[in-house]
Structure 1
Amino acid sequence: MKKIFLQISGMHCESCEKIINMELKEVPGFLSAVIDSKSGEGTVDLEDNVDENLILEAIKKAGYLAEIIRKEDPSNGNDKQDMQNGEILVVEKKNVENTEPFKLKLETSVLMDGEFSQKDSGPSFNGKITQTKKGEFQVPKDNKDADEFVEKLMSSSKIRQLFNIFSDSNSSTDNSFVKIDTANNEPDKKSADFVKEKEPQLKQGGQENAIFSISGMHCASCAGIIEKSLKKVPGVKEANVNFASEKARVLYDKSITTIDKLSEAVKKSGYKAQLADIDNPEVEKQRKEKTLKDYKNKFLWSFGLSLPMLYFMLLDFFAFLPGREFLMPLIGVISLLLTLPIQFIIGAGFYKGMWSSLKMKTFNMDSLIAIGTSTAFFYSLVIFIIHVVTNSSLIGSGGEKIADLYFETAAFLITFVILGKWLEAKAKGRTSEAIKKLMGLQPKTARIIKNNTIIDVPIEQVAMGDIIVVRPGEKIPVDGIITKGNSSIDESMVTGESIPLEKNIGDNVIGATINKFGSFEFKATKVGNETALAQIIRLIEEAQGSKAPIQAFADRISAYFVPAVIVIAIITFLVWFFIIGAGLAFSLMAFTAVIVIACPCALGLATPTAIMVGTGKGAEHGVLIKGGEPLEAACKIKAIVFDKTGTLTKGKPEVTDVVGLALADEDELINISASLEKSSEHPLAEAIVKYAQEEDVNIDEVNNFRAIPGHGVEGIINGQKYYFGNRKLMADIVGLDVSKIERKISKLEEAGKTTMILSSDKEILGLIAVADTLKESTIEAVQKLQKQKIEVYMITGDNRRTAEAIAKQVGIKNVLAEVLPEDKANEVKKLQGTGIKVAMVGDGINDAPALAQADLGIAMGGGTDVAMETGGIVIIKNDLRDVLTAIDLSKETMSKIKQNMFFALFYNVIGIPIAARLFYVFGLILKPELAGLAMALSSISVVSNSLLLKYFKPGKKNYISIIAPVVMVIVFTLLFLQFGRLGQM
C-alpha cells in the first residue's frame, strides 16, 4: 500500500468532498481517501501498482485540480515514512548480558529519512540512525544522545503520558544499540514474548477514551445511527451516544484507529463530531450558544415567513379583515413563494438527516419531518401547477383562492418543529447547570511566589510545587498542602460541608474552596485536570453521558418505532382513500399528521435528561454518582454492608472515659497519663495526648521514661514514679491487684473500649478508656435505612465481642466479625447468593474487592481523589446520611424516568389515533401543523418533568415533583383534544 498527499483547488464545501470521493472510488486499486475542503488538502491510500496519475485524472473529472505534494511508499526504504498517530513502535535495547524490549505507542512523532524527531516538548533525538532493513533502524553504541533519549523516554512521566511505555526495570542501561521497529513489521521473537508477558498492561495502555461533541442530532434514532457508525470502525471497543447531552463517548484501540477516523465515521453518517475540550469549558459553552442561536434565527425567519400565511387562514373565518378581496386570489402564489425558503433552506437539515439515515438503512425524526412536510408541499405544488396549466393564471379565479393548497401546513410544521427544538435545547442546557456551577468555581488566576516576589499568573500556568499565597476572602486556586500560616476554609461548594474547617500547617486544601479569615501559603500538589474539582467535573460529565440499563428499553422501542409509524401512516392513507373513499387531500393530511406526531424525541429524552439532572443534583449534595448504572442499582438495594473502621466509626481512636479511683481529680489523672504517653509510639498514645490538649491540661516533663513492650510505660514526674498500661503491667511489673476493679474494666471493654490503668508504686489511681468512636451521623443513618426495610450489616476484622459492642450502639443486628480484608468480598457474595441486591459501603482502599463484588459499591471519599475511588457512588463528605441521600435520589430519579417514558408513550397513544382521524365522527381532526406543535410540546414536557428533580432535598418529600406530572397529563390531554377541535376550523 502507498499513500499520496494532495493539494486540491476549487473545493468550497462538504459536497465537493463527496463528489471527489465518489470519483476516486471508480479508480481500480483505490483504497481510501480523506478530503478536506477547508484546508484544500487530501490524502489517498492506493495499492502499490496503481498509477498516481489516475487519481489526478479522477479528481479533474470531478471538476477540480490536484497536484501531488508528497508521497509515502513503505516498500522503499529511502522514502519518507510518516508514522501516523496511534501507530506502535517496538523499541528494543540490547546489551551483552540482557535484552530489554518495551513498547512505545507513538502519538505525534515522525520517523523520516533515517531521522527520528519528537514534535512535542520533552526529550528529543535528531541524530542519524542507520537503516538495516525495511522498517528497522539502529543507533551505534557510541551514540550517547540516542541512549540518553531512550532513557529519558522511560523515566519521564510527561512522556509516559504521551507514549504508554513498558519496560523491565532490572535491565542494564549500557546499550550496544537501539533498535526501532515499526508496527507494520513482525517484531523479533524476544519482543513478541515480552508483549505476551505484558498483555494486561498493553491492553490497558492501547485503549483510550475519546469524548466528542455531536451536532445535528434531532432524536434518539439519530443517536442510534451514530452509535452504529462508530461501532463499525475497526478498533472501536465501545460507543455510547447520548442524545440529551449531545456527547459521544468512544473506547477505542489507538493502535488500530485514530480520532480522525472516528470523526469521519460520524461525518459519513450525516452529523458533525468535534473532540470535546474538557480543559476548556468555554469552547463547549460557545458551541451550545451557537446551536441555540442557530435554532433561534431559523425559528424567527421561519415564523416571519409563515406569519402572512396565518393571516391568510384568518381570512377564511373573518370576512371583515382588511385586504380580503385583494389577497384571496393571490394566496396560492404568495404562499408558494413564502414556503419555498422555509422548505428548502430553513428545512434543508431535515432532508440531509433523512438522506443520512437512508444510507444507514434506517429512519429517524428527520425522515418523518421531511416526509410529512414534503407530502404537504409537493401535493400543494401539483395542485397549483394543474391550476396554472388549466386556467393559464397564477392566481385564483373569480376573486377566490386556489382550493386544496396546503403550503401553510408545510411552513407551520417546520416552524413549530424548529420552535420545539429551540425550546428543547434551552431546557437541555438547564439540565447541566450543576457542571456549569462547578466550572464557575475555578478562579482565573493564582498568586505565586517566584524569586522572592509575589506575582499573579493565569491558573493554567500554575505548576506542581509552586508556593501560592492566599488572602482572606479569596478562592484557593489548586489543591495543595499548607506550608505557612493557618485559616478557616469554606469547602461547601465542593464537599457540601456547610461548616468552615480549621486548617493548619500540613493540612490539605482543595482548589476552588474559599479562604475565610487568615492568610497562608501552600504548596501546589495537584493542578489542571488532577485537582479534586476537575475530577468531580469529569466524573459528573461521564455520569451524565452514560446510559442506565432502563435506557435499553427506550432504545429498543426507538429502533422499531419510526418504521412502525411510517407503516401506520401508510395504512391510514390507504384506509381513508381507498376503503372509506375520502378525498386525496383529506387522506394525505391524515397521513402527514400521523407521520409528524409520532416522532420518538420524547422517548429519547426520557432517560438521559433525568440522569443529567439527578447526577447533577447529587453532586450539589456531596454525592457523586458515576453513571446511570449505579443510579439505577441504588433504588433496588435490599441489604447494605458497612465496613466498621472509618465508615461507621471515625477511624481514629478517642478518649471516651476518664475514671478516677484513688486519684479523684480527673485533670490530674489526664495530666499524668498524657505526660507519660507523650514519649510513647503506641497508636493509642496520640489519642490521650490530643485529649489533654483539647481539655487544656498541662503536659509535664518525664524523667527515666521506659516503654515496656506488651505492657505499657513508666516514668518519673515531679519526683514520683508512675505506671500506665494494661493488666499485665500492674500484675507483672508493679505487683498490684486489679481484681477489685475488674468489673469496671470489663464493663468498659464490653462496650468495645480499650482500657488502660494508671498507678503509682502503691496504688491504682484511675482508668482511661479509648475507642474508635462512632461518627455523629451513623446512628441516624442506620435507623433511617432500617425504616426503609433495608437490612443493615456491619463487617469488621475485630473480635466478635468488640464488634457486637459497636453494633449494639448503632442498632445493627447483623454482624460479620473477624473477617480478613481479602474475605470481605466473599461475605458480600454469600449475601448475594440469597437473591438480594447488596450494597457495600467502605473507604474504597482496603475494601476495594468487596466494593467491586457488590451490586453497588459506595466509597467514602473525603473530598479528594474522588474519581479514583472504587465504587459506583462516592460520598464526598464522609457523612453516612448521604448514603441515604444517594438511595432517595436514585428512587426519585428512576421514578422520574418511568414517568417520562409513560409521557412519551402516552402522547403517542392518544396522539396517533387523533392524527389518523379515528375520532373524525366526534369532530376531532388534528391538522399536521398542530401535530408538529403537539410533538414539540411532548418533548418539552419530558425535559421539564426531569427538571423537577432540581427541587429534590435530602430527607424531604418533593411534592412539586409528585403533583406536577399528574397536572401535566391532564393539561396535555386537554390540549391534544383542543388541537383536534381546532382542526374543524
Structure 2
Amino acid sequence: MTSTLQIPTDVLELNVGGMTCSACANTVERKLNKLDGVTASVNFATERATVIGIDPGNPQAAIDAVTRAGYTASVRATDDDAWSARATEVKISSLRRRLAVSALLTIPLCDLTILLALAPGFRFPGWQLVCVLLALPIVFWAAWPFHRATVRNLRHGSVSMDTLVSLGSLVSFGWAVYTLVFAPSTTPGYWLGFGVTPAGADSIYLDVAAGMITFQLGGRYFETRSRRRAGDVLNAIGNLAAREARIRTADGVETVIPAGRLRVGDTVVVLPGERIPADGIVTAGHSTLDTSAMTGEPVPQEAGPGDRVVGGTVNVTGRLEFTAESVGTRTRLAQMAALTEDAQRRKAGVQTFADRVVSVFVPAVIVLAIVVTTVWLLLGSDASVAVGNGIAVLIIACPCALGLATPTALMVGVGRGGQLGILIKGQDALEASGVIDTVVLDKTGTVTTGRMRVATTIPLGAATRAEALRIAGALETGSEHAIAAAVVEEALTEHRDLPAVVDYEALAGLGGRGVVEGAECVIGNLRLLHEAGVVVDDGLASIVGDVEAGGATAVTLVADGVVLAVFGLTDTIKPSAEAAVARLRGLGLRTILLTGDNEVVAGVVGATIGVDQVIAGVLPADKADTIRALQADGRRVAMVGDGINDSAALATANLGLAMMRGTDIAMKAADIILVREDLRVVADAVQLSRKTLRTIRGNLVWAFGYNIAAIPLAALGFLNPLIAAAAMALSSVLVVSNSLRLRGYEPDRPDLAP
C-alpha cells in the first residue's frame, strides 16, 4: 500500500532571516510556540519555520512573533525554494570578506604587539596608535555579526557564544586602549612562567581581541559552508516536477497550462520526451516510461491503458493520455519532498554538546567576571588589578578553542575523507556515525551496477548459443529498451557484425518482433509468445520458470515459430558488495537489503552478498517509512542509496550515505557522499566518521576542561590578561594539533588487496 503524507491545511511556512546558530532557531521556535494553538518547528539549515495552527491567509501574528524574537520573517512562496540558498550565499560572502580582512590585519598586529611590547628597543613613536588602528577594523567591522547578535540577544533576555565573543573582544580592546592612554605601566610586570617582563607588557590585549575574532570568523565561515547544501535536496526534487501540462478538453482541444493549474479528473496528454506532470491512470496509448529517477530501478516501465503513471517520470517512446488522480502537493513526488524536508527539520533540531551547555556557560562566565572584579575591589586592590583579573576571567573563558574544536576536526576529517573517496557534509553525519547499529543498503545502483546483462543463454533445439545471440542481437537493435541493449551488448561480444532487422515493432510490456534474414522473429516474455501463436509446452515453461526462480528476467527468442533460446538477464552485483557487507558486519553492524524488486530477485542478491535481512517489494514512497519502522524498533539506522526514490529515506535515517554516481537529489539528501565505486568505502566512511567524532569530542573535552581549570587561576589573580591570552592561544594550538592528527588516519581495510 502506498503511504500518503497527510498535509495539514493550516500550515504556514516562513523564511526566517538573521539566525546565526542553532540557538537562534530554538529562540524563534519558542516564541512561535507561545502563540495560542500553534505548533512550530524551525529548520536552521534551510532557514525556514513551519507553523501549524495559524491561518496562512493571516500570517502577521507569526511574523510579529519572529520579529519580537529579534529576527526577520516573510511568508515563503510556493516556488521560492531557493530563498535559503540565496540567504546562505549572502552570509558566506559576508563572512569570507570579514575573515579575509581580519586575518590580514591580525597577522601584523600580533607581530607588532608582541615584538614591541616585549622588546622595548624596537619601539617607535606612536607604535601604540598603529596597533590600535590595526585592531579597529577587526573589532568593530569584522566582528560586527557577533556584536549585532549580542545586542539582539540581550534585548530579548538571552545569551549565546556570540555574547562571549563580543564582550571578550570589546573588553580586551577597551582595556588595551585604556592602559595605553590613561594608565601605561612604568614598572615591570610578572609573566607567569617567563619571569619579569619589560614595562608596558601588560597592555597587550589588542592581539587577544584580534585573534579571538579571526578564530571565531574562521569557525563560523566553515560551519556555514558545511550546511549550505542542507536545503538543496528540496530544490532538486522541486526541479524534477514538470512546469507545464498538456490537457485535452471535453471538445478535444489540447491546451498547455501551468502544472499548478491541473485538477483531479483532467485528461492529460504526454508526448515522447516530456515529463509526466501528475499521478494518474492511463486511458489511451502505449509507451515506455523512464522511471529510474523515481524508483532507482534500471528496467523501464511499460505503460498502457489501466496502468498507473507517476509525476516526475519521463515518457520515452509513445503518446500517452491519462486521467489525473493526484496533483500538486498530493503527488508522490511532492510527498517525497515533504518527507525529506520533515526529516531534515528533525535532524537540524538536534543540539550539539556546545549548544546544550552555552545557555549556562556564557552567563556564568559573565557573572563570574563581574564577581571577581567586585571582590578584588572590596579587598582593597587597585582598580587596574581588579579589572585586570576580571578581564583575565573573561578572556580565559572566551571560546576560541571551543569554536575551533568542531570546524578544524571536521575540515581535516573531510580532507582526509576526500583522499579516501568519502565526502562528509557536516557534524550531524559524525554524530550519527558514532551510534548507528544498522546499515540499510539499497539494491539497484548501490549493491548492483544498475545495468542489465545477459547472465544465462539456454539454446533450444538445433540452435547454438552463438546463432541464438546473433539473431537476438540483430532483432534487439531496433529497440531502446534496457533489456534489448543488454542482449545487443552480449551479442556483439561474439559477433562483430549483426544482420539487419526489417519491419521491427516494439510491443509495450511484451518485447518486440521483426524480420531477420527473411525469418519472422519474436523476442519477449511468454505472454508475447502466446499472442504470437507460439506453442509454449511444459518444457519451455519449466525452463522459463527456473530462470525466473534464480532471480533473472526470462526472455525467449522465436524464429518462424521455432523456439531458439531462452535468455536470463540480471542486474550485475558489484564485485565489492560481498566484502563490503562482511566488513560492516565485522564492525558490529546489522545489514539489511532494501529494494522494490520482488522477493525472489531480492533474496538471491541478499544471499549472494550475505546480508542479515532482506526487505523486498518496497515502493519508493514507503522507503522512508521502512527506515522509521526500524528506528521505532530501537535501531539507529544508516541508509546507503543512489536514487531519487532514496532521498527521503536518506534524510530520515540517522546517517545517510549516497553513491557519487547516483542522482544529484540523493547526494544532496545524504550526510556522506561515497565517491569510490568500491562499495567497501561504506565501511571506510563509518570508520573515518567515528575517528573524526572521537577527535571532536576530545577537542571539546579539552576546550571545556581548559576553561574549568584556568578560570579559577585567573579569578585568584595568578593570570593577568596577557597570560590568559597566551593560555587561550595555547589551547587553540592544542585543539588544532589534535585535529591535524586525522591527516595520517588510515582505515582498517584487511579485505583490500595489497
* Cα-to-partner distance string for 1:170-196 (whole Å, 9 max, x where unaligned): xxxxxxxxxxxxxxxxxxxxxxxxxxx
SS at match of 1:364: helix
Pick one of 590, 599, 607 that aligns with 1:800: 599
Equivalence for 2:362: 562
For the Cα contact (< 8 Å) 1:638–1:789, is it kept in 2? yes
Equivalence for 1:926: 719
Distance 2:23 2:581 in 1: 43
Aligned partner letter, 1:810:
I
- When residues 600 and 296 of structure 1 are mapped into structure 2, their CA distance, relative to the original with a 3 A threshold, is same
- When residues 364 and 231 of structure 1 are mapped into structure 2, their CA distance, relative to the original with a 3 A threshold, is farther
Compare 337-346 and 404-413 and name the one that shifted more.
337-346
SS at match of 1:906: helix
Q: How much has 1:804 moved relative to structure 2?
A: 1.6
1:909 aligns with 2:708: yes
1:753 aligns with 2:552: yes
Show the 5 A alignment for 1:377-392. none
- When residues 805 and 938 of structure 1 are mapped into structure 2, their CA distance, relative to the original with a 3 A threshold, is same
- When residues 340 and 665 of structure 1 are mapped into structure 2, their CA distance, relative to the original with a 3 A threshold, is closer
Distance 1:760 1:422 in 2: 77
- When residues 756 and 381 of structure 1 are mapped into structure 2, their CA distance, relative to the original with a 3 A threshold, is closer
Equivalence for 2:405: 606
SS at match of 1:836: coil
Equivalence for 1:416: 208
Q: How much has 1:785 moved relative to structure 2?
A: 1.9
SS at match of 1:929: helix
Show the 5 A alignment for 1:229-248. none
Q: How much has 1:597 moved relative to structure 2?
A: 1.0
Q: How much has 1:815 moved relative to structure 2?
A: 1.7
Equivalence for 1:528: none
Distance 2:413 2:397 in 1: 27
Equivalence for 2:732: 939
Q: How much has 1:905 moved relative to structure 2?
A: 1.0
- When residues 833 and 226 of structure 1 are mapped into structure 2, their CA distance, relative to the original with a 3 A threshold, is closer
Aligned partner letter, 1:782:
V
Distance 1:547 1:609 in 2: 22
1:207 aligns with 2:207: no
Q: How much has 1:428 moved relative to structure 2?
A: 7.2
- When residues 284 and 682 of structure 1 are mapped into structure 2, their CA distance, relative to the original with a 3 A threshold, is closer
Show the 5 A alignment for 1:822-833. 823-833=622-632
For the Cα contact (< 8 Å) 1:736–1:763, is it kept in 2? no
Pick one of 689, 699, 702 that aligns with 1:890: 689
Show the 5 A alignment for 1:447-596. 551-569=351-369, 589-596=388-395
1:673 aligns with 2:472: yes
Q: Percent identity?
A: 31
Distance 2:16 2:677 in 1: 30
Q: How much has 1:784 moved relative to structure 2?
A: 2.4
- When residues 280 and 252 of structure 1 are mapped into structure 2, their CA distance, relative to the original with a 3 A threshold, is closer
* Cα-to-partner distance string for 1:8-49 (whole Å, 9 max, x where unaligned): xxxxxxxxxxxxxxxxxxxxxxxxxxxxxxxxxxxxxxxxxx
- When residues 375 and 754 of structure 1 are mapped into structure 2, their CA distance, relative to the original with a 3 A threshold, is closer
Q: How much has 1:935 moved relative to structure 2?
A: 1.4
Equivalence for 2:291: none
SS at match of 2:452: strand
* Cα-to-partner distance string for 1:411-441 (whole Å, 9 max, x where unaligned): 21222342454466568778899999xxxxx
Greater relative contact order: 1 or 2 (C-alpha under 8 angstroms, separation 6 or more)? Answer: 2
Equivalence for 2:446: 647
Compare 718-727 and 930-939 and name the one that shifted more.
718-727
Compare 749-758 and 870-879 and name the one that shifted more.
870-879
Equivalence for 1:975: none
Distance 1:360 1:911 in 2: 31
SS at match of 1:674: helix
SS at match of 2:200: helix
Equivalence for 1:635: 434
Distance 2:197 2:515 in 1: 109
Distance 2:644 2:49 in 1: 26
Q: How much has 1:280 moved relative to structure 2?
A: 12
SS at match of 2:497: coil
- When residues 886 and 938 of structure 1 are mapped into structure 2, their CA distance, relative to the original with a 3 A threshold, is same
Compare 809-818 and 619-628 and name the one that shifted more.
619-628
Show the 5 A alignment for 1:828-977. 828-847=627-646, 850-851=649-650, 853-860=652-659, 862=661, 865-866=664-665, 872=671, 880-917=679-716, 925-943=718-736, 945-946=738-739
- When residues 915 and 822 of structure 1 are mapped into structure 2, their CA distance, relative to the original with a 3 A threshold, is closer
For the Cα contact (< 8 Å) 2:454–2:568, is it kept in 1? yes
* Cα-to-partner distance string for 1:38-95 (whole Å, 9 max, x where unaligned): xxxxxxxxxxxxxxxxxxxxxxxxxxxxxxxxxxxxxxxxxxxxxxxxxxxxxxxxxx
Which segments of 5 or more consecutive residues in structure 2 lack a partner in the other structure? 1-5, 73-82, 191-195, 229-342
- When residues 698 and 414 of structure 1 are mapped into structure 2, their CA distance, relative to the original with a 3 A threshold, is same
Equivalence for 2:234: none
Distance 1:677 1:561 in 2: 71
Distance 1:870 1:771 in 2: 29
Distance 1:626 1:346 in 2: 30
Aligned partner letter, 1:297:
L
Aligned partner letter, 1:288:
R
Equivalence for 1:297: 105
For the Cα contact (< 8 Å) 2:620–2:646, is it kept in 1? yes
For the Cα contact (< 8 Å) 1:306–1:339, is it kept in 2? no
Distance 1:297 1:360 in 2: 33
Show the 5 A alignment for 1:266-305. 288-289=96-97, 291-294=99-102, 296-297=104-105, 300=108, 304=112
Distance 2:30 2:109 in 1: 38
**Pair member with larger Rg:** 1
- When residues 856 and 653 of structure 1 are mapped into structure 2, their CA distance, relative to the original with a 3 A threshold, is same
Pick one of 589, 592, 607 that aligns with 1:790: 589
Aligned partner letter, 1:293:
V
Q: How much has 1:898 moved relative to structure 2?
A: 0.8
- TM-score scaled to structure 2, two decimals? 0.60
Q: How much has 1:671 moved relative to structure 2?
A: 0.6
SS at match of 1:835: coil
1:780 aligns with 2:573: no
Distance 1:546 1:619 in 2: 27
* Cα-to-partner distance string for 1:575-612 (whole Å, 9 max, x where unaligned): 77878x98887666544433321212322443355456
SS at match of 2:204: helix
Count of matched residue pairs: 597
RMSD of the alignment, in Å? 6.0
Aligned partner letter, 2:204:
F
Pick one of 597, 607, 611 that aligns with 1:812: 611
Q: How much has 1:900 moved relative to structure 2?
A: 2.0
Equivalence for 2:457: 658
Distance 1:544 1:708 in 2: 43
- When residues 826 and 882 of structure 1 are mapped into structure 2, their CA distance, relative to the original with a 3 A threshold, is same
- When residues 548 and 951 of structure 1 are mapped into structure 2, their CA distance, relative to the original with a 3 A threshold, is farther
Distance 2:106 2:399 in 1: 22
Q: How much has 1:655 moved relative to structure 2?
A: 0.8
Show the 5 A alignment for 1:621-770. 627-660=426-459, 663=462, 665-678=464-477, 684-701=483-500, 717-718=516-517, 729=529, 739=539, 748-758=547-557, 765-770=564-569
For the Cα contact (< 8 Å) 2:631–2:637, is it kept in 1? yes
- When residues 209 and 667 of structure 1 are mapped into structure 2, their CA distance, relative to the original with a 3 A threshold, is farther
For the Cα contact (< 8 Å) 2:180–2:203, is it kept in 1? no
Q: How much has 1:901 moved relative to structure 2?
A: 0.7
Q: How much has 1:797 moved relative to structure 2?
A: 4.2
- When residues 368 and 407 of structure 1 are mapped into structure 2, their CA distance, relative to the original with a 3 A threshold, is farther
Distance 1:371 1:281 in 2: 32
Distance 2:709 2:673 in 1: 42
Distance 1:266 1:762 in 2: 76
- When residues 955 and 864 of structure 1 are mapped into structure 2, their CA distance, relative to the original with a 3 A threshold, is farther
Compare 890-899 and 747-756 and name the one that shifted more.
747-756
Distance 2:169 2:439 in 1: 49
